[in-house]
Chains A and B, each alone.
Chain A
């Protein structure tokens, strides 16, 4: 440790002590509240409690029960994670992470990261690469969510994921480009002609024809973009509550680099994490 480090340590220790003192001073008076105010609040609370309808009571009990569910889901996820069942772990961690339970966002990100690595290890086809892209994107979103609630451990994996995602995106682009100018041409004369064939024949052809596959991928992306746009507009116009599932419109994140916005391969799969900081969050 250098003398500079020593001084820095002294500064840090003093800062912590000063914060500790300020907090203790505030804590010493936290219980002080005027009797009138307390009586007023208590009578309001009792009145509100009495005025509840049976339906409201059931709803509140149900909400209380759902808080317990997050904990149960987290336990299931931890068990599955310990058993090496990553898909199951991701499923249950997601339940807790959506409600910001404990360190579920960080754990979910780690599991998705491992799943992505598993896909990547066996990825030979463009489809597998896209699957990996989706997992990496979702993992990055949850790492970001975990980081923003205070889990600083999420920062390093987040950085490496973003770097990896950029690399993957470039690789996917190369594959797509190669597909476009790949060997041979579509015998019937392109996807437009193929759609005029009988369905079974068209499907069989598309399975074996690379130019047609490439066209389908492009069309799929276009279709998803249109669907997402419409879904977003409908949500904004109607201002309705979104169901708590994986099929809501995508949300934008704070600026974290283009790597966090890859093309999805199916609706909902890459829905951005319900990050607590989405709408412009505190530091």
Chain B
């Protein structure tokens, strides 16, 4: 970890604490859309993602005083939400009450798009992300949607930076393949053939 990264992380932690100092409404307005949309792009079930986001935010409000002095309160929020979602998904799968077949996934995505304009605008992308293995999806979601560096992402997911990098590379590659190749790539393929 470089000194630069440390200072950047400290700055972002400071920003998050300043938002907290401005009041719970300011904090909520900034982080809620990012959190709930990150979870929706990662989860199989939109309802579950919303529940997890609400519970994580509630837990954050419960721990407000403690988190005011936390180095990265925003990372804490995403870490708790990610772990909660994983745990609930494991439990739901154990009880076979998580519909993950193609028809259910498409239906759930359509419902999510109907309730959120941002998802509707990026439907292909979210569909592609949901089809990725969960670790790849989490790394991509935290890195791009959460705005975290790879080191911060690795810290949130309790993995090594190298592993996070590997997941990111694989995820991006599969994401594009799953979304369909753009015209330029198709041309290159044709020339190669």
Contacts and interface: CB of A to CB of B under 8 A. Distances in A.
Task: Give chain B's interface residue range (CB within 8 Å of chain A).
Answer: 35 or more
Contacts of B177: 15
Contacts of B100: 279-282
A276 B89 contact: yes
Contacts of A279: 93, 96, 98, 100
Most buried by B among A35, A42, A275: A42
Given A11-B188, A49-B61, A274-B94, A24 B144 contact: yes
Given A11-B185, A18-B182, A99-B90, A149 B30 contact: no
Nearest to B181: A15
A24 B89 CA distance: 28
B144 A27 contact: yes
Contacts of B24: 42
A31 B34 contact: yes
Contacts of B95: 241-242
Contact of A23 (B135, B144, B163): B144
Interface in A1-56: 4, 7-8, 10-12, 14-16, 18-20, 22-27, 29-33, 35, 38, 41-42, 45, 48-49
A100 B159 CA distance: 12
Looking at chain B's contact residues, is the secondary structure mostly helix, strand, loop, or mixed?
Answer: helix
A127 interface: no
Contacts, number: 172
B58 interface: yes
Contact of B118 (A32, A70, A150, A274): A32
Contact of A14 (B34, B80, B185): B185
Contact of A26 (B87, B145, B176, B188): B145
B32 A67 contact: no
10 contacts: A11-B189, A11-B192, A26-B122, A29-B121, A42-B24, A102-B158, A151-B135, A276-B134, A277-B93, A279-B96
Interface of A: 4, 7-8, 10-12, 14-16, 18-20, 22-27, 29-33, 35, 38, 41-42, 45, 48-49, 57, 60-61, 63-64, 67, 70-71, 74, 98-103, 148-152, 241-242, 274-283
Closest 8 CB pairs of A and B: A150-B133, A150-B135, A15-B176, A102-B158, A19-B176, A33-B33, A23-B144, A100-B86
